């Protein structure tokens, strides 16, 4: 590998805070600043200045960005033309004809992804066997060129039928797009079958690509001569200069960093089977890790399917900033509306007036009044009480009882999300360790573990900035797919290996261009029974072994195996730089820390408050207790105790274990 930089800075831009983790010769430092959504790079530069850093050639910045994600969620992509075959202009609008609410017979109309006037049809149609059904002629190209000159789009998405078999027509169209216009070809973005999902990924890449490209160029210029790389949705990094062209692969950039961080620190503690929940200010992301981080090609961002490989994650609108209110029936609801970074919860003192989960935790004493959010911003308990009192009065309860209700409902939302990725897949949460992170996660970890019947949990060191820590341990990598649809009975093992090898070699060449020397490959295939629409992804281990593994995987997941022909659908390749992650500094040996104070917690009386940074290796603390650090607080509930491991992780165990 190329020499390791003197300093590595992980930066995770969230909806409320931008988190920093710096690892250099002096050890590990963390920092938080309020995010600046209108110009995310401004918060990053503020944090770098606060850390006393001077960008130089020995600094590597690994960034998890929300620019592409926010553009999609807010519908603020650029003006994008969509080019497809004749008769297929409405494919993205029609989609799969699935309603969000199955029994709502009069759903409100939704704006089509691409306005009709920006949908262009042309020739160049292939058949399922790759034969030319309709040629792409010179007149077609002239018409497209004229239309693009008239429409003046900032980006163009090209999605022709069966382009994954032969991309020549898409390349011919790309050649007539005016200079300076961002171009996204389906045969490059996602060379797979299913024209809707392929088209949506291609359009999303074009729709937000110029925004991402411009943002990364501005940030790279501001950070020069430091090197900037970006976290991708599948958990590996990519050079910033290339990342802007692959914006659709960055939509889960920050959350993927959290899973990398959780897997890394839990591995240090000897835990490999994990249920993770990342509770930030705006949302909560939950996932399941069984040794490896699971990837999916069936992800969604808002109402849009995203078929490129990304971490398998479920997201709900429940965070520290989630707003509590009474609905029309007088029932208490929490989220999905959030106070966000501005104005934020009432206790931030930034103008927020509505009660939030953070205000409820502060009112109950679980968030100490001495807390400095992000290490510097004091909380204002009187504002939290003032925000909750009107809600409590409407409910006929005391402010503290109303706050307990807010916490209970937020916990129920998060527990249900964790059940979606475990119980609903036939897995018992009790077989896993619950890993909590994000700025607000430690306040809810014990309650969620109890709700799921779990007796083990882990709150990582620097849990409040774990996504940024995950940026430090992520490796440069690529995930590539290619449809090759053929019955297994007609499949030649040598041909499968050859095609996989070619895909791996092309992806590895990109990594070597970024400085990687040793590269690891992961070869997989998607199989299904003939006639099915869904596939299962299996490691490639030769024809017979892989097919038998498919039968067994189908039996485990669906309860049966079929005596039917098996079909190969997609080839999948993952390559990553084979490099050791940076080493976390262990805790120094010292005497067990004593409580620095006691805090009155509603319903529990005076509770000891420990400064987490002062805890000693192997120190054991029994609940109820509060453990406070610069970027997060952990509420150790009654009936739980925790042990501090050599790196400072908190290993929580229920008394019922």
Average pLDDT over residues 161-171: 97
Calculate what percentage of the chain has a pLDDT beyond 70. Answer: 98
Domain 7-72+213-253: give its CATH superfamily.
Answer: ATPase, nucleotide binding domain (3.30.420.40)
Beta strand pairing status for 456-459 and 620-622? unpaired
- Is 435:288 a contact under the CB 8 Å cutoff? no
Whether pLDDT at 76 is above 70:
yes
Q: Sign (positive/negative) of CA torsion 364, 367, 373, 374? A: negative
3-state secondary structure of 577: strand
Six-digit token string for 494:
């040598």
CA distance 159 to 164: 10
DSSP secondary structure code for residue 585 in this structure: P
Whether pLDDT at 439 is above 60:
yes
Whether pLDDT at 489 is above 80:
yes
Whether pLDDT at 3 is above 70:
no
| CA dist 261 → 182, 251, 493 (Å) | 34, 18, 37
Q: Sign (positive/negative) of CA torsion 279, 280, 286, 291? A: negative
Q: Sign (positive/negative) of CA torsion 446, 448, 450, 453? A: negative
Residue span(s) of the chain under CATH 3.30.1490 come to: 477-577
Tens-place pLDDT, residues 14-60: 777 899 999 988 888 888 888 888 889 999 999 999 998 888 878 99
Q: What pLDDT is recorded for position 374?
A: 56
Residue by residue, DSSP assigns 444-470 as THHHHHHHTT--EEEE-TTGGGHHHHH
Residue span(s) of the chain under CATH 3.30.420.40 come to: 7-72+213-253
Six-digit token string for 395:
């409910």
Average pLDDT over residues 538-554: 95
Whether pLDDT at 2 is above 60:
no
Taking all residues of the chain, what is their mean pLDDT, rounded to a whole number? 92
Q: What pLDDT is recorded for position 1?
A: 43
Average pLDDT over residues 6-13: 91
- Is 61:9 a contact under the CB 8 Å cutoff? yes
585 versus 163: the higher-pLDDT residue is 163
Which of 29-33, 72-76, 169-173, 377-381 has the highest average model confidence (pLDDT)?
169-173
Residue span(s) of the chain under CATH 3.40.50 come to: 77-208
Sheet holding 59-64, edge to edge: 27-34, 17-24, 7-13, 59-64, 227-231, 237-239
Average pLDDT over residues 305-310: 94
CATH 3.40.50 fits 77-208, yes or no: yes
Residue 195: CA count within 13 A, CB half-sphere: 21
Tens-place pLDDT, residues 245-283: 999 999 998 889 999 999 999 999 899 999 999 887 777
Residue 181: CA count within 13 A, CB half-sphere: 25
CA distance 187 to 557: 32
Considering just the CA atoms, what is the radius of gyration of the chain in Å?
A: 26
Helix 253-268 crosses helix 466-473 at what angle (to 10 degrees)? 80
- Is 589:583 a contact under the CB 8 Å cutoff? no
Average pLDDT over residues 325-350: 86
Task: Please give the CATH number for the structural domain made up of 477-577.
Answer: 3.30.1490
616 versus 302: the higher-pLDDT residue is 616
For the chain, first and last CA: distance in Å?
45
Whether pLDDT at 4 is above 70:
no
- Alpha helix positions (H), 365-492: 381-395, 399-420, 445-451, 466-473
């Amino acid at each position: 590998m190329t020499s390791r930089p003197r300093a590595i800075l992980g930066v995770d831009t969230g909806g409320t805070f931008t988190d920093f983790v710096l690892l250099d010769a002096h050890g590990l430092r963390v920092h938080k600043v309020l995010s600046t959504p209108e110009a995310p790079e401004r918060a990053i530069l503020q944090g770098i200045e606060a850390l006393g850093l001077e960008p130089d050639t020995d600094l590597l910045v690994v960034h998890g960005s929300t620019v592409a994600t926010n553009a999609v969620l807010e519908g603020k992509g650029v003006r994008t033309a969509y080019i497809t075959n004749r008769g297929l202009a409405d494919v993205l609008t029609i989609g799969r004809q699935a309603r969000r609410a199955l029994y709502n017979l009069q759903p409100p109309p939704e704006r089509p992804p691409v306005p009709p006037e920006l949908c262009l049809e042309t020739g160049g149609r292939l058949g399922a066997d790759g034969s030319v059904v309709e040629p792409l002629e010179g007149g077609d190209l002239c018409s497209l060129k004229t239309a693009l000159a008239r429409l003046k789009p900032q980006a163009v998405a090209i999605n022709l039928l069966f382009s994954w078999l032969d991309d020549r027509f898409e390349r011919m169209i790309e050649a007539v797009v005016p200079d300076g216009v961002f171009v996204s070809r389906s045969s490059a973005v996602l060379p797979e079958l299913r024209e809707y999902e392929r088209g949506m990924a291609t359009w999303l890449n074009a729709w937000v690509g110029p925004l991402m490209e411009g943002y990364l160029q501005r940030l790279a210029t501001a950070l020069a001569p430091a090197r900037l790389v970006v976290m991708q949705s599948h958990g590996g990094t990519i050079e910033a200069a290339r990342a802007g062209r692959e914006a659709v692969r960055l939509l889960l950039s920050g959350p993927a960093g959290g899973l990398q961080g959780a897997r890394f620190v839990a591995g240090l503690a000897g835990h490999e089977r994990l249920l993770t929940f990342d509770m930030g200010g705006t949302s909560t992301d939950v996932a399941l890790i069984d040794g490896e981080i699971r990837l999916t090609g069936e992800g969604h961002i808002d109402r849009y399917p995203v078929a490129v490989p990304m971490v398998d994650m479920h997201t709900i609108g429940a965070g520290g900033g989630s707003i509590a209110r009474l609905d029309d029936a007088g029932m208490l609801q929490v989220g999905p509306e959030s106070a966000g970074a501005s104005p934020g919860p009432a206790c931030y003192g930034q103008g927020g007036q509505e009660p939030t989960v953070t205000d409820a935790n502060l009112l109950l004493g679980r968030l100490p009044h001495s807390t400095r959010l992000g290490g510097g911003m004091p909380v204002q308990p009187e504002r939290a009480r003032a925000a909750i009192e009107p809600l409590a009065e409407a409910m006929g309860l005391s402010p503290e009882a109303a706050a307990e209700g807010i916490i209970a409902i937020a916990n129920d939302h998060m527990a249900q999300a964790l059940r979606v990725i475990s119980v609903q897949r036939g897995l018992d949460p009790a077989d896993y360790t619950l890993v909590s992170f994000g700025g607000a996660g430690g306040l809810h970890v014990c309650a969620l573990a109890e709700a799921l019947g779990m007796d083990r949990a882990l709150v990582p060191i620097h849990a409040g900035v774990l996504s940024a820590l995950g940026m430090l341990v992520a490796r440069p990598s690529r995930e590539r797919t290619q449809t090759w649809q053929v019955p297994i009975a007609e499949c030649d093992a040598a041909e499968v290996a050859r095609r996989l090898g070619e895909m791996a070699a092309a992806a590895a060449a990109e990594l070597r261009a970024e400085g990687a020397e040793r590269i690891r490959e992961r070869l997989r295939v998607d199989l299904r029974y003939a006639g099915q629409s869904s596939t299962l992804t299996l490691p490639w281990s030769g024809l017979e072994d892989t097919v038998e593994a498919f039968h067994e995987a189908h039996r485990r997941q669906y309860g049966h195996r079929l005596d039917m022909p098996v079909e190969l659908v997609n080839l999948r390749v993952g390559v990553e730089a084979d490099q050791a992650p940076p080493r976390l500094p262990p805790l120094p040996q010292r005497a067990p820390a004593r409580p620095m104070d006691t805090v009155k917690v509603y319903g529990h009386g005076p509770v000891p408050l420990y400064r987490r940074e002062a805890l000693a290796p192997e120190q054991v603390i029994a609940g109820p207790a509060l453990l406070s650090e610069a970027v997060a607080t952990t509420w150790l509930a009654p009936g739980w105790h925790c042990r501090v491991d050599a790196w400072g992780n908190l290993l929580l165990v229920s008394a019922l274990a």
